[in-house]
Structure 1
Amino acid sequence: MPANPRFGDVYRSKGEQGDAGLVQARHVFLRGCSLLAEGKHAAWADAPSWQVLETGFGLGLNFLATWHAWRADPARPKRLFYSAVEAWPPEANDILRSAAPFNELMPLAQELASQWRGLLPGVHRLEFEGGRLQLTLAVGEVQPMLAELTGQFDSIYIDGFSPALNPDMWSLHTLKAVARLARRGACAASWCVAGEVRERLITCGFSVERVPGLPPKRHALRAKFEPRWQPRLRAQALAIPLPTIDSPLRCTVIGGGLAGASCAYSLAQRGWQVTVLDRAPEPAAGASGLPAGVVAPHVSPDDRPLSRLSRAGARATLKRVQLLAREGVDFALTGVLERHAPGERRLPTPWLDANNSKVSRATTHAAGDRLTLEKAQQASVPLNDTQLALWHDHAGWIKPAALVRTMLASSGITWRGSQAADRLESANAGVWRVLDSAGAVLTESELVVIAAGFDTRALLCDPGKPLPSPCMHCAGK
């Protein structure tokens, strides 16, 4: 029976073991949010995308059940975005042990466990099904982590340990944060039917009903977000305005390097028609044209923002290159040895445990350290008693130009080389024009992404040809 000693509570009660645990997850959460196609279309039928929010990821049973239902539904949405908060992520082996009773979930649990690493506090993005399913896992306490998430969620799973043992999960402040992320008409579901929880949900704009549960639960809760007031969109409270385009349209990407190609590919996968402009005749003509590059996270004792950003970037890059490139030719997951300067501070143990990395001295004899020393010797890197090294298991090298060319060749992307963008001009109906130095229009599109390296500053901030509205850089943001 999976239990959490930190809260003194179980993930599933004794009566929910075996297949009963999955039956409960489906009854309470999936059926509660109308996501099971049972003689009729599920709520997400034929949608271009669907967003699910879960307040407590736990051992991942609800995520796996939702993934399985999405896979099995012929009218499933093209893309599924699943976001969840978890303050205390379990080990990968615990996810596998939890899913072991459910034969249909075990292959999915194995895919999840294979990516379950590096989960330090912060927001992490895991991709499955060729990028069509994305899990955004916010690791940390529920209220600050909900504030880190963005989106208008269609289905909400309100889950966590009991209110008596974990009151913050069910507080009014937490449920207000959930409501700020809900689209009008979103369905919510929970196993908890406590009176104070129902009252708080009503205060936050949900209509609430108590429905029959499955033994050992007598009842379950279903709710719908339909406030009598007009909710203020989260974007309205941000210092940086967000785009308000409701459906995929046209996008111009200025810059045909790794950054521009990655943006173009991601947008094309979401249905956008993307035109990529570059002053060079061929893609990856700048820094992205180097013969090879090392992909490994930056590390620091305090896990600063640069470290968190590079860790997410390395994970996303290696996942994409595995999908699109040729292993052994365009990339290889060889691992990477990172040398430290003599006397440099040893990295904290939580970082090492989370990233499956090892710190080594030349004189130590632990199994992981011997592997590090062996790799160092193969690379002819001398180590001594004062020289530390860090071995990154989940790292390697790529040929960035090959990845750039593959991404730009994808459906929905048009490449146009020898096209030097000189300025942007706002047209009617939310359309941007990109012009060359002679004033000729190169493209018109609803969105422009500028990934032009050193040319970006001149394009955005030339005082002789400013943008119609102040850009973030010029405004000092």
Structure 2
Amino acid sequence: MSDNYEALIPARIAFNEQGVPLSAVFGDVYHPQWGALEQAARVFLHGNRLPERWRAKETFTVCETGFGLGNNFLALWQAWRGDPCRSKRLHVIAFEAHPFTREDLRSVLMNSVPEPERALASQLIDAWPPLLPGLHQLEFEGGKLTLTLAFGTVARLARQASACVDAFFLDGFAPKVNPDMWTRALFGQLVRMANAGATVATWCCTGEVRRGLRDAGFLVSKVPGHGGKREITVATLRPGMGRQCSPCPPQDDVLVIGGGLAGAGVAYALATRGHDVTVMDPVFAQGLGASHQGHIAAAITPVISRDDDIRARLSRAGVARALHRWQGLGGEARPLRCGTIELVPDSANAAIRRESLERLRFPGDWVRWMDGAEASERAGTRVDSGGLWFADGQRAQPQALIEALLSHSRIRCMVGEASSLRRDNAIGWVAMDSRGNALASAGQVVVANAARAVDLLSVVPGIAPRPKFEAMYRLAGQVSVYSETHVESPRVVLAGDGYCLPAQHASFVGGSTYLLDAETCEVTPEGHAEINKKVAGLLNVIPSRLARSSQSGDGWAGWRAAVADRLPVIGHIDEAPGLWLACAYGSRGLSWASLAGDIIGATLNQEPLPLERELLRSISPR
């Protein structure tokens, strides 16, 4: 098991004799008897001088060290939405070592909070994520309010979080029962995230806590308390400390080079944040979704590993962002959340997988083991082994998805191929064709054209060598399309050695092949034969039945770009301000596309980032 892994232990509902929610782990109440919302208003909002401090600002960020039942968040949300002079956007990042399940959260909140907070609580409960360790980003108010939940111990996750914070709600359990929430190391991490002038409010008034805040860099005061609490603590970051930063203006336009899944995912995430985006690709001469024309279906599926490694955590985050971002799309662009069964026919490997599930302790509503009988019933076809059931597995239609993403009103698509980029201090970046003619310009540019990104970056002056990125390679691959006339498709994504997807319009997709050093990328009879064997094994049919169900031209072929560690390359080029990369997605373009867009968009707009810092480092251009 990785040294960094922490199994998540959910909170359990308990109440004291007065009926106040109580932590069974720490033996302390979640809020005073005189009321959670009143405490939020009097201690945390008033103590941080809210709502006055967010007024007329583009964005405002709050960090809470103990989310608990979410009462402080609900009070903050209600105060913000009720203020006509509120900031345009509000971001909240909150830590919670022992989160409640959705059912327990509902049972407490819906019976304790009054209207109008109850209506907000209902939205929070509906959006509540599965109890998986790491960061979970939720959106409300059309994306103008974000809540980034950090599930795990604050001692570890405070080091991993990235945010530009204006106000802190220190709301952990009492220092005597939960000292990790009040350490000087934690206060140091808060200062790392703090904007200039950041404030702190907390009910805790012990001398040790006040001295810790002071030593970290805050000017600390005691002010009158409420409800029997004589004093509370407030603080302001010392002058000269904190980030002197402002978000990238929404009107700052962006050029995205590449009109496939990578480019479309980035463009859509930026457009939803108010940026005007130009997407450039020569393939647009054949239509918006031409990069995946004929690619009728593909899978979006998370993975797990024994030690919850980097790739597994990135996959989990990417699938969650895709589910969150794309389920609101209409028609065939909306992925089908059908679930995935990853078959594990080998008994030794099955034992390892089941042991991993026990050690990881992931919630059963996200992943669990299915025996062969249950897997067969769920899939709608007989399978010979058990496997892992991922409830969030999805079937997407890439061409329809790309067309929908690129149809956003703030996105303009143009036919063209950039051969070079140059920095212009007046306008940002200029993309030029092979003759040196300017094609398009923008304040920010995102290079998202797969393996061609290496050549494009190589001609940008002043860029340092990046060995991993420059060693990017291409793989050709194909999928096959089958008619249900002879073979019935599964009702889920069925994976193992190859994969098979649920049908749409009486046809279904199976895959796939991987050809390194291929000179061409095309559908071939040899590719069909290889895929037929894989799909036949999954569906328990003879390959000849699949051969009768597919014609030689029924399929799709495309290139994949990857680097040695098979992780995507996403992030900014430090020595070239305004230049970003989003490429090397390999065979998981659908898993990374939305996540990459939100990483770039959140960084540009000074929002809390949706990934831990160690994960961001693992995918940064290098």
TM-score (norm 2): 0.66
Match of 1:219 among 221, 231, 246: 231
1:240-284 deviation digits (Å, cap 9, x = unpaired):
xxx997434121111112221121122222232211111212333
User: Which residue is 1:338 aligned to?
Assistant: 342
1:397–1:46 distance in 2 versus 1, CA, 3 Å: farther
Q: Any conservation in 1 of the 2:336–2:396 contact (CA below 8 Å)? A: yes
Q: Tell me, in whole angstroms, the C-alpha distance in 2 between the residues paired with 1:147 and 1:81.
A: 19
Amino acid at match of 2:357: P
Aligned equivalents of 1:80 and 1:317: distance in 2?
22
| 1:375 paired residue number | 378
* Structure 2 CA distance for partners of 1:245 and 1:54, relative to 1, 3 Å: closer
- Alignment match of 1:91 (pick from 88, 94, 101): 101
Task: Give me the whole-angstrom Cα distance separating, in 1, the residues matched to 2:113 and 2:175.
Answer: 28
**Partner residue of 1:76 out of 78, 86, 97:** 86
Output the CA distance in 2 between the equivalents of 1:268 and 1:375.
38
- Correspondence for 1:112: 124
1:124–1:471: structure 2 CA closer, same or farther, 3 Å change rule? farther
SS at match of 1:403: helix
Task: Indicate how the Cα distance of structure 1 residues 356 and 194 shifts in structure 2: closer, same or farther if over 3 A, else same.
Answer: same
Aligned counterpart, 1:47: 57
Residue deviations 1:386-406 (CA, integer Å, cap 9, x gap): x22222223322223222222
> SS of the counterpart of 1:202?
helix
Superposition deviation, residue 192 in structure 1? 0.8
How many Å separate the matches in 1 of 2:50 and 2:243? 27
1:32 aligns with 2:47: yes
Q: Is the Cα–Cα contact under 8 Å of residues 192 and 220 in structure 1 kept in the other structure?
A: yes
CA distance in 2, matches of 1:329, 1:255: 19
Local SS of the residue matching 1:348: helix
- What code does the residue aligned with 2:114 have? N
State whether residues 120 and 354 of structure 1, in contact with CA within 8 Å, keep that contact through their aligned partners in structure 2.
no
How far does the alpha carbon of each residue in 1:352-375 deviate from its partner, in whole angstroms, 9 at most, with x for none? 416533311135xxxxxx4x4421
Whether the 8 Å contact between 1:258 and 1:288 is mirrored in structure 2 is: no
- Cα pair distance change 1:71/1:296, threshold 3 Å: farther
Structure 1 range deviating more: 171-180 or 393-402: 393-402
Alignment of 1:44-193 (within 5 A): 44-99=54-109, 100-104=111-115, 105-193=117-205
Identify the residue that residue 39 of structure 1 maps to in structure 2: none
Secondary structure class of the residue paired with 2:409: coil
> How many Å separate the matches in 1 of 2:293 and 2:243?
41
Q: Secondary structure at the match of 2:282?
A: coil
Cα distance in 1 between the residues matched to 2:84 and 2:440: 37
2:290 to 273, 281, 285: 285
C-alpha offsets along residues 306-351 of structure 1, whole Å, 9 cap, x if unaligned?
221121111211222222223x774322223222232222241344
Q: 1:299 aligns with which of 280, 283, 304?
A: 304
Once the two structures are TM-superposed, the CA of residue 74 in structure 1 deviates from its matched residue by: 2.5
Matched, 1:264 2:267: yes
Q: Which residue is equivalent to 1:468?
A: 462
Partner of 2:512: none
CA contact (8 A) 1:360 1:373 kept: no
Q: CA deviation at 1:466?
A: 4.3
Counterpart in the other structure of 1:247: 249
Give unmatched runs, 5+ long, in structure 1: 37-41, 234-242, 364-369
Secondary structure of 2:269's aligned partner: helix
Aligned to 1:4: 23
| In the alignment, structure 1 residue 274 sits paired with structure 2 residue 277 | yes
Instruction: Determine whether 1:454 maps to 2:451.
Output: yes
TM-score (structure 1 length as normaliser): 0.85
Q: Once the two structures are superposed, what CA deviation does each residue of 1:39-78 show, in whole Å capped at 9, x if it has no partner?
A: xxx3222322221111111222212222222222233323
Q: Compute the displacement of 1:138 (Å).
A: 1.8
Residue 200 of structure 1: aligned partner: 212
Residue 318 (structure 2) pairs with residue 313 (structure 1): yes
Q: CA 1:140–1:374 in 2, change beyond 3 Å: closer, same or farther?
A: same
> Could you tell me the percent identity over the aligned residues?
37
Q: Is the 8 A contact 1:2 1:10 kept in 2?
A: yes
Instruction: Quote the Cα distance in structure 1 between the aligned partners of 2:436 and 2:73.
Output: 52
Q: Which one of 422, 438, 442 corresponds to residue 445 of structure 1?
A: 442
Give aligned pairs, total: 441
> Cα distance 1:381–1:373, how it changes in 2: closer, same or farther (>3 A)?
closer
The two structures, once aligned, show a CA RMSD in angstroms of 2.5
User: Conserved in 1, the CA contact under 8 Å of 2:333 and 2:401?
Assistant: no
Q: CA 1:395 to 1:107, structure 2 compared with 1: closer, same or farther past 3 Å?
A: farther
Contact 2:195 2:242 in 1 (8 A): no
- Contact 1:325-1:331 at 8 Å conserved across structures: no
The corresponding residue for 1:366 is none
Q: Deviations over 1:104-126 (max 9, x none)?
A: 33333333233333332222222
In 2, Cα distance between equivalents of 1:451 and 1:266: 14
* Matched residue, 2:387: 389
Superposition deviation, residue 441 in structure 1:
1.1
Are residues 73 and 116 of structure 1, via their aligned partners in 2, closer, same or farther at CA, if it must alter by over 3 Å? Answer: same
Matches within 5 A, 1:393-412: 393-412=391-410
Q: Does structure 1 conserve the Cα–Cα contact (< 8 Å) formed by 2:418 and 2:431? A: yes
Distance of 2:461 and 2:295 partners within structure 1 = 33
Q: 1:119-151 deviations in whole A, cap 9, x for unaligned?
A: 322222222233222221222221321121112
Secondary structure of the structure 2 residue equivalent to 1:323: coil
